[in-house]
Homo-oligomer: A and B are copies of this chain.
Amino acid sequence: MIKVVLLGAGNVAIHLAKAFDKAKNINLVQRYSLSNTNDGYFDGSIPTTHDISTIYKADIYVIAITDDAISTFSDQLNHIDGLIVHTSGSIPLTVLKNLSRSGVLYPVQTFSKEQEINFDHIPIAIETADEKDMDLLKSLVGSISNKIFEINSLQREKLHLAAVFANNFSNYMFTISREICKVNNIPFDILKPLIYETAKKVQTLNPIQAQTGPAKRNNKEVIEKHLSQLNGEQKEIYNLVTRSIIKKYNQKEK
């Protein structure tokens, strides 16, 4: 049985708590959070503290707080001798260098409070400062997911950058799409199956092969018509992404 203390109250903490709760060989002994804003999202039976000096002894301490606060917050944990891991994609392991045993457990997923998530299929990138802690972290992570990837801080930084394009920027394309619909009194619902299929397609197909549309076909007439209907940043983004797609597919043909 691996004893875990979870530190945090945000979306990642909410979903990790559920996954730890469900896992047979994990005992979530306590949760720490600064505020009690999200307490309702957690199983009430998990002992909770708002005072860092009262945290229990555990095998692993999982920090699931906002990126910017990890470094400062971890300084308060330097008396602890368990393994302390953060859960951020963009923060290197070295920010925990003042701790005796440290690591990273980065679930590569986007979390919302309300949306249920099945952790089994969520890829989790892991790293430890000391190779000796790897087995412990692996057995924790292996209890909640069957997709574990050992990745160093440099690779994780790149992975996080790739995730920004895959998630943040694609979501922003959906936002612009919805804005165009709204201005023109078109229900955004019409586009939802298309969005779903776009993501489904690249589960099995390389996105290079999945690309369609006027930019890929270098259909100048349609592109010009589209540009004439856009303004400001929407137009800039259309123009830049289109030019980039045209270039990519023309290069390929050479």
CB neighbours of A90 from chain B (8 A)? 214, 222, 225
In the assembled complex, the Cα of A63 lies from the Cα of B89 at a distance in Å of: 48
A163 within 8 A of B: yes
- Tell me what chain A mostly uses at the interface: helix, strand, loop, or mixed: helix
Flag A151-175 by CB within 8 Å of B: 1 or 0 each: 1000101110111111111111111
Does the CB pair A180–B162 fall under 8 Å?
yes
Does the CB pair A164–B233 fall under 8 Å?
no
Does the CB pair A233–B247 fall under 8 Å?
yes
The chain B residue sitting closest to A115, CB to CB, is B201
Interface residues of A (CB under 8 A from B): 67-68, 90, 108-110, 112, 115, 117, 121-123, 125, 147, 149, 151, 155, 157-159, 161-178, 180-181, 183-187, 189-208, 210-216, 219, 221-222, 225-226, 229-230, 233, 236-238, 240-241, 243-245, 247-248
The chain B residue sitting closest to A123, CB to CB, is B190
Does the CB pair B191–A162 fall under 8 Å?
yes
In the assembled complex, the Cα of A211 lies from the Cα of B243 at a distance in Å of: 25
In the assembled complex, the Cα of A111 lies from the Cα of B248 at a distance in Å of: 21
Does the CB pair A194–B167 fall under 8 Å?
yes
Does the CB pair A168–B226 fall under 8 Å?
no
CB neighbours of A164 from chain B (8 A)? 213-215, 226, 238
Partner of A193, one of B121, B172, B175, B225: B121
